[in-house]
Chain A
Amino acid sequence: MSKETIRFGKSAVTTQEFVAEGHTFCTGCGEALALRLACKALGENVIIGNATGCIEICTSPFPVTSWRVPWIHTLFENTASVISGVEAGLKILMNKGKRPEQDIKCVAMAGDGGTSDIGLQALSGALERNHNFLYLCFDNEAYMNTGIQRSSSTPYGASTTTAPAGKFSIGQITKKKNMVAIAAAHDIPYVATACPSYHFDLMRKVRKGAEVEGPAYIHILSPCPTGWRYSSNLTIEISQLAVQTGIFPLYEIENGRYRLNADPPELKPVEEYLKPQGRYRHLTSDNIERIQRLVNEDYARLKKKAAAFPM
């Protein structure tokens, strides 16, 4: 593997690929791009624990693997607990002289279902116990691997296979669970949101999350052409729109202090984001108006917090 880096202005990015080609992600997968960038930011001194889900399935069909770094998958809901064991195990083995001293980053990865639904307890436990690890949630806003079933991270108004839009339903009738706030409520040193269309921002945050002492949580929006039903060439555009409309603001919380990373002077109308996506096709103008209102409220609340506790 070449160990060269390419410079983009102030940023240097390795040409090394830690997730090998030949994986089975769908064309245009936002998660695959986010994963590739995150792994570039992490480098090779890492042990990754992966929950069951798209990333796991698309990278590890025995007898082949895409992983050029040590990687462990066991079950769906326990990845934060597994990485707790990895982290505690490495630390004590090094203390006892049973393993050579080495700076190994412990990283857990899971989807939105593996994080905000079935894995929430394990994650909360690992954050509370203050393990030195980074947790990456790749949020494609539904159970995509099993066929687009709703999760608690599915946004209001989206149609999924288990919360379909119909004569009597808008689809998802609940608001997207605020995982970032839940992670932040554990008073951990670093929490951030990221998005694969903002490459350098994503890589910087992953590096930062891996470097801080203690737990770090990064919530990465991972647009899914298959589940969101948009043309696979629009992934970057859609994830940019998610940020520019304020639907998925980019921000970080360091030791309780906020920083908005992209704060456009004026938010674009949410309709621009919703329109290209088949999961929102059924929405009426009233529905869209309601979503706009919700987004405005949430964004204002976030700005207020950022102003009250600036970095």
Chain B
Amino acid sequence: MSRRVALEAAHAVAEAARMADVDVIAAYPITPQTHIPERLAEMVADGELSAAYIPVESEHSAMSACLGAAAVGARTYTATAGQGLELMHEVLYAASSMRYPIVMAVCNRALSAPLSIWGDHSDAMATRDTSWIQIFCQNSQQAFDMTLWAFRVGEDPNVLFPVMVHFDGFHLTHVTEPVVLPEQEEVDRFLPKLDYPFALDPHKPMTHGAFGIPDVYSEAKVAQEIALRKSKSVILQGFQEFGDIFGRHYYPVEPYKTEGAQTLLLTMGSFGETAQIAVDTKQSKGESVGLLNLRLWRPFPFQELREAVKNAQKLIVFDRCISFGGPGGPVCSEVRSALYNERERPTVVSFVGALGGREMSPQDFEYVIDRGREIAEKGSEELFETVGIRGEVTGIRG
């Protein structure tokens, strides 16, 4: 029997890693990720988890040690946030390009300067093009579920890519919520043992990480791009199998009360649950508004997004990151790009807010919906508008 317990997301993902029987954890402490490595170290110390815990001296080394562990066929896990993810940056490319199915929790955090330990999506957006599969969570249950799912998908012999499980720093990492924990037998049924086909072994010498001359580099990169996009079918299969076994169903783009809605709000991460309240309020007043949760960030779910917005007239995208000097919120610019060539498409409006731990209330989201509709109707010279930020500037022109 599964059991319902109170867990913060940080402890929920540690529990998922334990139930996945990870072999190696290499981690470096950074707020707000600390509760994950702490809990895992405790499990190893108490014998609840048979794993090597490598207390590395930096995030760069955390991901590097993960490369080595994955290269010998170990199920490998780490967690980081903000600056830590940035310090890992070049290693992220090595992990994905060398096809090591590492799973990493990213407790989304703002980037310095000024120093901020609090949440936004700046760290995630800086890793957008690293060729990792990337998924976002809205609550502790999803953080648990997506961690199991990440091992299932990343380690699939038809995938072999690392996976980032994103969930918001503090708003999820440190918030205790009810989480349904499955039976070990159910987890084992969902998640087969890792059988990494290219494990380094003196009996079968292999060279990992040969360098690419111009004559082969381009082909290697295009092959990688094709492989990442092809992982989509396993991603969907993983959602399906997860739903079949655990009864919770996930999709790349998830609608909330979107039936017949003329205006759609799109969010990614935990703020979607706050936005749901705003949508409920609007609908109770008879307004035609729905909500989309973008769960799968990489590979980007083009088809599902187009399908989800095809009957809407207005699409308002809320970002927790500024793309400095760029076309608007980074999620919004991707959404716009995905829709640009569609014959019929909604007018897309970009909002940026909730940076560095700034709260967004349901009322703030009601404002975003109202103002977004107004911009969509009247047009605007501004690339995006800000919300909940003091000062006279509320819109940014290109």
A residues lining the B interface (CB < 8 Å): 44-47, 49, 56-57, 60-65, 67-75, 77-78, 80-93, 95-96, 98-99, 102, 104, 121-122, 124-125, 128-129
Shortest beta-carbon distance from A129 to chain B in Å: 7
Shortest beta-carbon distance from B365 to chain A in Å: 42
B1 at interface, CB cutoff 8 A: no
Report the separation of the CA atoms of residues A93 and B64 in the bound assembly, to the nearest whole angstrom.
Answer: 18
Shortest beta-carbon distance from A11 to chain B in Å: 24
Known contacts A60-B210, A84-B68: A77-B60 contact under CB 8 Å: yes
- List CB contacts (< 8 Å) of B180-225 with chain A: 193, 199-202, 204-213, 216, 220
Shortest beta-carbon distance from A62 to chain B in Å: 4
Shortest beta-carbon distance from B196 to chain A in Å: 10
Question: Which segment, of B46-54, B122-130, B250-258, B306-314, faces chain A?
Answer: B46-54
B residues lining the A interface (CB < 8 Å): 23-24, 26, 50-52, 54-58, 60-62, 64-74, 76, 90-91, 94, 98, 193, 199-202, 204-213, 216, 220
Q: Do the beta carbons of B71 and A72 come within 8 Å of each other?
A: yes
Q: Do the beta carbons of A90 and B72 come within 8 Å of each other?
A: yes
Known contacts A89-B23, A89-B73: A74-B56 contact under CB 8 Å: no
Residues of A within 8 A of B61 (CB): 78, 80-81, 84, 121-122, 125
Report the separation of the CA atoms of residues A77 and B209 in the bound assembly, to the nearest whole angstrom.
Answer: 15
A-B contact count (CB 8 A): 173
Residue in B70, B91, B210 with the greatest tally of chain A CB atoms within 10 Å:
B210
Residues of A within 8 A of B94 (CB): 74-75
Chain B, Cβ-Cβ closest to A91: B52
Residues of B within 8 A of A57 (CB): 211
Residues of A within 8 A of B211 (CB): 56-57, 60-62, 73
Give the residue of B56, B76, B199 whose beta carbon is less than 8 angstroms from that of A125: B56
Shortest beta-carbon distance from A292 to chain B in Å: 39
Chain B, Cβ-Cβ closest to A77: B60
Residue in A69, A83, A84, A122 with the greatest tally of chain B CB atoms within 10 Å:
A84
Residues of B within 8 A of A75 (CB): 64, 90-91, 94
Report the separation of the CA atoms of residues A99 and B52 in the bound assembly, to the nearest whole angstrom.
Answer: 15
Q: Do the beta carbons of B71 and A86 come within 8 Å of each other?
A: yes
Report the separation of the CA atoms of residues A77 and B90 in the bound assembly, to the nearest whole angstrom.
Answer: 11
Q: Do the beta carbons of A85 and B202 come within 8 Å of each other?
A: no
Report the separation of the CA atoms of residues A85 and B25 in the bound assembly, to the nearest whole angstrom.
Answer: 9
Give the residue of A45, A62, A89 whose beta carbon is less than 8 angstroms from that of B216: A62
Q: Do the beta carbons of A84 and B56 come within 8 Å of each other?
A: yes
Shortest beta-carbon distance from B63 to chain A in Å: 8
* Besides A81-B64, A84-B61, A89-B72, 4 new A-B residue pairs in contact (Cβ under 8 A), listed by A number: A71-B206, A72-B209, A73-B209, A99-B72
Instruction: Return the 8 tightest CB-CB contacts between A and B, nearest first.
Output: A85-B68, A125-B57, A81-B64, A78-B64, A85-B65, A89-B69, A81-B61, A85-B69
Q: Do the beta carbons of A61 and B213 come within 8 Å of each other?
A: yes
Q: Do the beta carbons of B208 and A46 come within 8 Å of each other?
A: no
Give the residue of B68, B193, B216 whose beta carbon is less than 8 angstroms from that of A83: B68
Shortest beta-carbon distance from B62 to chain A in Å: 8
Report the separation of the CA atoms of residues A82 and B98 in the bound assembly, to the nearest whole angstrom.
Answer: 13
Report the separation of the CA atoms of residues A122 and B54 in the bound assembly, to the nearest whole angstrom.
Answer: 13
Residues of A within 8 A of B220 (CB): 62
Q: Do the beta carbons of B91 and A69 come within 8 Å of each other?
A: no
Shortest beta-carbon distance from B86 to chain A in Å: 16
Report the separation of the CA atoms of residues A245 and B66 in the bound assembly, to the nearest whole angstrom.
Answer: 44
Q: Do the beta carbons of A89 and B24 come within 8 Å of each other?
A: yes
Report the separation of the CA atoms of residues A84 and B54 in the bound assembly, to the nearest whole angstrom.
Answer: 8
Q: Do the beta carbons of B202 and A45 come within 8 Å of each other?
A: yes
Residues of B within 8 A of A47 (CB): 72, 200, 202
Q: Do the beta carbons of A44 and B72 come within 8 Å of each other?
A: no
Shortest beta-carbon distance from A216 to chain B in Å: 18
Q: Do the beta carbons of A93 and B65 come within 8 Å of each other?
A: no
Known contacts A85-B69, A89-B24: A60-B55 contact under CB 8 Å: no
Give the residue of A45, A93, A122 whose beta carbon is less than 8 angstroms from that of B23: A93
Give the residue of B26, B90, B204 whose beta carbon is less than 8 angstroms from that of A85: B26
Report the separation of the CA atoms of residues A177 and B69 in the bound assembly, to the nearest whole angstrom.
Answer: 31
Residues of A within 8 A of B24 (CB): 85, 88-89, 92
29 A-B pairs with C-beta separation under 8 A = A44-B202, A60-B211, A61-B213, A62-B210, A67-B205, A70-B202, A70-B205, A70-B208, A71-B208, A75-B94, A78-B64, A81-B56, A81-B60, A81-B64, A82-B68, A83-B68, A84-B64, A85-B54, A85-B64, A85-B70, A86-B69, A88-B74, A92-B23, A92-B51, A93-B73, A95-B50, A121-B61, A122-B58, A129-B55
Residues of B within 8 A of A83 (CB): 68
Residues of B within 8 A of A46 (CB): 202
Report the separation of the CA atoms of residues A125 and B62 in the bound assembly, to the nearest whole angstrom.
Answer: 11
Report the separation of the CA atoms of residues A72 and B94 in the bound assembly, to the nearest whole angstrom.
Answer: 11
Residues of A within 8 A of B193 (CB): 98
Give the residue of A69, A82, A96 whose beta carbon is less than 8 angstroms from that of B202: A69
Q: Do the beta carbons of B65 and A84 come within 8 Å of each other?
A: yes
Chain B, Cβ-Cβ closest to A124: B57
Residues of A within 8 A of B67 (CB): 72, 74, 78, 82, 85
Shortest beta-carbon distance from B72 to chain A in Å: 4
Q: Do the beta carbons of B60 and A96 come within 8 Å of each other?
A: no
